[in-house]
């Protein structure tokens, strides 16, 4: 499954809240993304699913909360390194 940009934004809002999510996406530097913010990584062409995993990992979001309110939402696979 591929996470699209719109789905990334939905996950951020559902899991983190609109205001807090926007702050995290634009200001939190993620070690898993070469110390870029999620916003910078997306602008650089990183896959939204990879960015979401990096953000969720950095924030310690557990698997039970990671996929938001969409009970039918499939878990995007992690990128293999």
Q: What is the pTM of this model?
A: 0.82
**HEC states along the chain?**
CCCCHHHHHHHHHHHHCHHHHHHHHHHCCEHHHCCECHHHHHHCCCCHHHHHHHHHHHHCCCHHHHCCCCCCCCCCCCCCC
| Domain edges within the chain | 5-64
Whole-number pLDDT of residue 81: 53
pLDDT digits (tens, 9 = 90+) for 42-68: 999 999 999 999 999 999 998 888 887
For the cut 50, the answer to whether the pLDDT of residue 1 exceeds it is no
Residue bearing tokens 């983190």: 16
For the chain, the distance separating the N- and C-terminal CA atoms, rounded to the nearest angstrom, is 17
């Amino acid at each position: 499954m591929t996470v699209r940009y719109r789905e990334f934004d939905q996950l951020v809002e559902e899991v983190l809240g609109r205001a807090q999510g926007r702050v995290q996406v634009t200001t939190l530097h993620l070690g898993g993304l070469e110390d870029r913010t999620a916003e910078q990584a997306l602008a650089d062409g990183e896959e939204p699913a990879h960015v979401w995993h990096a953000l969720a990992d950095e924030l310690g979001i557990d698997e039970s909360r990671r996929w938001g309110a969409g009970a039918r939402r499939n878990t995007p696979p992690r990128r293999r390194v």
